[in-house]
Amino acid sequence: MIPSSFPDKTEIARLSARMLLEIGAVHFNAQTPFTLASGLPSPTYIDCRKLISYPRIRSVLMDFLAVTVLREAGFEAFDNIAGGETAGIPFAALVAERLALPMTYVRKKPKGYGRNARIEGVMGEGDRVLLVEDLTTDGGSKLSFVDAIRETGATCGNTAVIFYYGIFPDTEAKLGAHGVQLHHLCTWWDVLAEARAQATFDAATLDEVEAFLNAPRAWQEARQNG
């Protein structure tokens, strides 16, 4: 179960960013940008899956995620915790353990045999479900998971992630229009601030990352056209 005392949201964001930096989950490279799943270039990349291999950090972050949801959504707001395939599954299990709630997971698509199910585990009609994932960029992938949950007769009005890009202005509006509230621990802005404070990367790299964060689409278009 979760402890009863936690830092405020600002300090949770700073500490979460610090932990992601400490385990090398954050990658900045302005000279040779990463290629995202969308095919677009980016000087930033984050790998939250690494967290499962660091038990002390993993435990603190899951405490933070649980208390963030309780503070922002309510202490008796949920009946079921669902993880999105695949990265969200371990984090959903850890949050469900802290909140003493059943855990399920949602497939990206039906498995194609047997029951052809997208929901694994027990999810009942009318259950209030929290969708847990490792991160969100523009929120798009969350909507498919939410729809699959709602097709069971359950409700899903909240999703919680460790990391939120926080640089695409329409993300929360897109989720909100679908009836979903986003809860998160930290963003790229928090990571950048902590990276500057710790001098984790050289100043030129951090300046280029900041330029990207301020205008990601323009930065990507310039790199593609260049």
CATH of the domain at 19: 3.40.50.2020
Q: What is the predicted pLDDT for the residue at 110?
A: 80
- The tally of domains found in the chain comes to 1
| pLDDT of 169 | 86
**Signed CA dihedral, 173, 174, 175, 179: sign only:** positive
> Is residue 221 included in any domain, yes or no?
no
In a domain, 208, yes or no: no
**Inside any domain, residue 178:** yes
At 102-148, the pLDDT tens digits run 999 999 988 766 566 899 999 999 999 999 999 998 877 889 999 99
CA distance 24 to 192: 14
Question: What integer best gives the mean pLDDT of the chain?
Answer: 93
Quote the domain boundaries for residue 58: 9-201
The Cα 192–Cα 198 span in angstroms is 10
Contact 95, 133 (CB under 8 A): no
Does residue 222 form part of some domain?
Answer: no
Q: What is the pLDDT of residue 2?
A: 66
- Lowest-pLDDT range, 92-96, 100-104, 126-130, 171-175? 171-175
Inside any domain, residue 118: yes
Q: Which amino acid is at 35?
A: T
- Residue 218 belongs to a domain: no
Q: What percentage of the chain reaches a pLDDT higher than 90? A: 81
pLDDT-based confidence at 209, cuts 50/70/90? very high
Q: 5 falls in which pLDDT band (50, 70, 90)?
A: confident
pTM of the model: 0.93
Residue 211 lies in a domain: no
Q: Residue 90 falls within a domain, yes or no?
A: yes
- pLDDT tens column, 41-83: 899 999 999 999 999 999 999 999 999 999 999 999 999 999 9
* C-alpha to C-alpha distance for 139 and 85, rounded to whole angstroms: 15
Tokens 């707001």: give the residue.
77
Q: How far apart are CA 105 and CA 111, in angstroms?
A: 13
What are the phi and psi torsion angles at 96 (to 5°)?
A: -60, -40
Distance of CA 137 to the CA centre of its chain: 8
pLDDT value for 60: 96
pLDDT at residue 129, rounded to an integer: 98
pLDDT value for 207: 96
Q: How confident is the model at residue 183 (pLDDT cuts 50, 70, 90)?
A: very high
